[in-house]
Structure 1
């Protein structure tokens, strides 16, 4: 194992990492300062405290949670023993990722009995890249969840479990937003305002709702494709939509940017409402709510954070599971499709949800492609697909 003081000093002598995430390519790597506390646990430092001499600095991606460990850093913080000599001497297979230090392609090294997936190591500088799942396995202490005591984790999970028994709503395990999601907050205020105005009788929601029959007969009702999103049937409807918008929307807004997020939200709402008009069986039932728009946000979350983890209670049981976002959202889509095809309930706009989700699925790859190019242009070491000749 490398000497801790020597490794920290070597890191201080090296230039700052300016690299695109070699895995998801959606963000520049962000430095994270870690300090070993008196009780032997690592904690993440904030602000000026990160400049202390006795700290360990790693570089992580806030989107996919992968992290870069300079030579020796994984030995210091690693929670699972990996023989450094094995990595230094074993011949790895060529990887499709490049070293964030700018040394070119890395090599893949397999760790039988420890990981199912190979880790990436730079043969020039000895640094190691861990994907999000690999990081949680080999270096959990570098994550906020891994820095919590077992008692705190169990207490937090117990509170979440109790709340989920009542609500059946998913909860993010660890995916904090970077920055303040002002658009999400503004939309939440707008949805609340629309609901309160309708409850007070200032606005009659039926005048602003999507009603398939009249819409088909008179397309001048097109404005309702936007206005129906601001009204909700009751407090439960509003709070449910607001919750999903918040937990999925804050991260998506960071990736999309404010203007593109607004296009996503209202575009998904319009497409969702339009699909309802085309396929609805109940042609005189007014449809209100931002569910179609939020379904588009959920699709964007699926594209952007497929491996983010969610707590979810299995319906009709007290069993709580931790699942990747992609699994939760695929089950959600299948449920919407089945209900849309076979349900006789007229008060749920299943096709609006599916239309909004489809819009999000189609728009998000275009947005992510542009974001990857912008991130590559902003750093010294772009990911492999954007390497300059």
Structure 2
């Protein structure tokens, strides 16, 4: 399922959300301009690698702004664009940024634990997926009944369907959990950091309750 847009109006300009999208996109364009050797070196320097974490503690933050390919950056930024504005609208700008960063940190910590279990201490982790998963968790708690217009495969056709956010995001996190468990024996080989998605989601879902979102009445 691919979200096209949410049918949930926002009354404030999503400055933080758009800034995150622009910064991640600019960093990716810089990565794309590098040759293969420079790219690997850049990822090694700013990606989150457990074996180098104490040597490069800043990577706990910088890894959230790196991406590994066009599909990675486009997919992440699209989900952030669709769901982030409403969460920022309810939380306010500073609390939204705090939620985003805490979700990214929670995602990284869970993935680090998994890396320790499977011996993947030298595999770098990059991407905003964990932080964005936290935004999805917050959205599901704040707007469970909002409608999401999604492109859904039905037999051999793609169809636009309106789906309640609780079902759309609930199905999404279920897929992350299933994929994480299935891929666990191969996690040492790299690939998608499924447990970062899972960790970020549950951090965002629980943290948003404690950030005291604003009450907004829609007419």
Specify if TM > 0.5.
yes
3-state SS of paired residue (2:127) = coil
Determine if the alignment matches structure 1 residue 297 to structure 2 residue 135: yes
Are the counterparts in 2 of residues 285 and 347 from structure 1 also a CA contact under 8 Å?
no
Corresponding residue for 1:324?
164
Corresponding residue for 1:355?
199
Determine if the alignment matches structure 1 residue 255 to structure 2 residue 93: no
Q: Which consecutive residues of structure 2, in runs of 5 or more, have no partner in the other structure? A: none
Corresponding residue for 1:233?
68
Deviation track 1:38-97 (CA, whole Å, cap 9, x = no partner) reads xxxxxxxxxxxxxxxxxxxxxxxxxxxxxxxxxxxxxxxxxxxxxxxxxxxxxxxxxxxx
Comparing 308-317 and 282-291, the one that deviates more = 308-317
Task: State how far apart, in whole Å, the 2-side matches of 1:177 and 1:371 are.
Answer: 13
3-state SS of paired residue (1:229) = helix
Task: State how far apart, in whole Å, the 1-side matches of 2:55 and 2:206 are.
Answer: 27
Corresponding residue for 2:45?
207
Are the counterparts in 2 of residues 184 and 246 from structure 1 also a CA contact under 8 Å?
yes
Q: Which consecutive residues of structure 1, in runs of 5 or more, have no partner in the other structure? A: 1-167, 377-389
Task: State how far apart, in whole Å, the 1-side matches of 2:105 and 2:44 are.
Answer: 17
Task: State how far apart, in whole Å, the 2-side matches of 1:306 and 1:253 are.
Answer: 16
Are the counterparts in 1 of residues 4 and 150 from structure 2 also a CA contact under 8 Å?
yes
Q: Give the structure with the larger helix fraction.
A: 2
Structure of higher RCO (CA pairs closer than 8 Å, 6+ residues apart): 2
3-state SS of paired residue (1:221) = coil
3-state SS of paired residue (2:2) = coil
Deviation track 1:312-354 (CA, whole Å, cap 9, x = no partner) reads 3334732533210000111111111111111136310011111
Corresponding residue for 1:112?
none
Task: State how far apart, in whole Å, the 2-side matches of 1:362 and 1:229 are.
Answer: 20
Q: 1:187 aligns with which of 9, 17, 20?
A: 20
* Counterpart mapping for 1:170-185 below 5 A: 170-185=3-18
Quick check: which has more Rg, 1 or 2?
1
* Counterpart mapping for 1:335-354 below 5 A: 335-343=175-183, 344=186, 346-354=190-198
Normalising to structure 2: TM-score of the pair? 0.84
Q: 2:112 aligns with which of 277, 283, 288?
A: 277
**RMSD, aligned CA:** 2.1
Q: How many residues align?
A: 203
Task: State how far apart, in whole Å, the 2-side matches of 1:194 and 1:173 are.
Answer: 27
Task: State how far apart, in whole Å, the 1-side matches of 2:6 and 2:206 are.
Answer: 27
Normalising to structure 1: TM-score of the pair? 0.49
Are the counterparts in 2 of residues 298 and 329 from structure 1 also a CA contact under 8 Å?
yes
Deviation track 1:19-52 (CA, whole Å, cap 9, x = no partner) reads xxxxxxxxxxxxxxxxxxxxxxxxxxxxxxxxxx
Task: State how far apart, in whole Å, the 2-side matches of 1:171 and 1:192 are.
Answer: 20
3-state SS of paired residue (1:284) = coil
